[in-house]
Amino acid sequence: MSDTKIAVITGATDGMGRVAAPLLARAGYHVVIQGRSETRGAEVVREIDEAGGSASFMACDLASLDDIRRFAGEVGAAHGQIDVLVNNAGIGTGPEGAPREESADGFERRFAINYLAPYLLSRLLLDRLRPGARIVNVASDGQHPIDFSDLMLERDYSGEAAYCRSKVALIMATFDLASDLKGAGVTANTMHPGSYMNTTMVREMKHAVVDSVDEGAGFILDLAASPERAGVTGRYFNRGVDTRAEEQCYDPEARRRLREATEAILAGQRAHA
């Protein structure tokens, strides 16, 4: 499959990812679909195959850093070079008043899945990215500055704060990644696809639907494959429009603190594995 264009998309068995995966296939990519459910994964693969596209499913629990490491290794071994990585998977604020949750590794669950997972997966796959490859990180326009004195929200927890801080962390990491990749011919951008789409995340929040899942998936495809976005990097797009994110995302000191904290978390987790 060395001449085949490969797109890896997380959270592709439900919601917006479920819509975006066939769009990537129609754009000519073999789509590696990540999810937790083998049954739902097989359904997406079958739909793409029946439409004349190409896809495969690989299960991974993004709440487990060790499982992300396994997944990255298997993706690399199976497909060699990658052309597109879409870090789409995420969890929302949860129902109002829901208690704080932790990941398999003991980290605040939204921080772990919405931020640590795409951070680690992107870094693990860097040496697999073909020149011209694109990384697309799905963030949100729900953004709160990070409180570095309470990174895991152990005080005064709220699902909204956890979600909005995790998305700011993801935007910061995307900007850092774009800077690190300068000269490598690989781009990294982040985006808000739309608000309160008809997804499991929004249904759990019990919020009325506002934006279209199909439109959101289209914005993913635009950043992942549009010729007009070639070479564009280190940007935050809101519904396809190049926009300024939360001001903390542009603070070099805040980004340094986040990166150092993240690397310490990952090193500590590995040391105790």
The DSSP secondary structure of 180-235, one letter per residue, reads HTTTTT-EEEEEE--SS-SSHHHHHHT----S-HHHHHHHHHHHHH-GGGTT--S-
Q: What total number of domains does the chain contain?
A: 1
Q: Which amino acid is present at 263?
A: E
Q: Residue 273 class from Cβ within 10 Å (0-12 exposed, 13-18 middle, 19+ buried)?
A: exposed
CA distances from 5 to 1, 65, 130, 132, 137 (A): 8, 27, 10, 11, 19
CB 19 within 8 A of CB 48: no
Q: Residue 83 class from Cβ within 10 Å (0-12 exposed, 13-18 middle, 19+ buried)?
A: buried
> Is residue 93 in some structural domain?
yes
Residue 163 annotated among the catalytic residues of the structure? yes
> Is residue 32 in some structural domain?
yes
pLDDT of res. 212: 78
Q: What is the CATH number of the domain that holds 225?
A: 3.40.50.720
Active-site residue identified among 163, 196, 236, 250 = 163
pTM: 0.93
> Is residue 41 in some structural domain?
yes
**Contacts for 38 with CB less than 8 Å, ≥ 6 apart:** 57, 59
What domain range includes position 204? 6-271
> Is residue 247 in some structural domain?
yes
Q: At what angle do helices 252-271 and 65-79 cross, to 10 degrees?
A: 90
Q: Which residue has the tokens 């060790």?
A: 66
Taking only the tens of pLDDT, the chain with its 273 residues reads: 468 999 999 999 999 999 999 999 999 999 999 999 999 999 999 999 999 999 999 999 999 999 999 999 999 999 999 999 999 999 999 888 999 999 999 999 999 999 999 999 999 999 999 999 999 999 999 999 999 999 999 999 999 999 999 999 999 999 999 999 999 999 999 999 975 555 555 545 555 545 678 899 999 999 999 999 999 999 999 999 999 999 999 999 999 999 999 999 999 875 444
State the Cα angle at 136 between 5 and 62, rounded to 5°.
95
Check the CA dihedral 12-189-123-194 and report its sign.
Answer: negative
CB 186 within 8 A of CB 135: yes
pLDDT of res. 213: 85
> Is residue 106 in some structural domain?
yes
> Is residue 1 in some structural domain?
no
Q: Two tokens at 75?
A: 């993706």
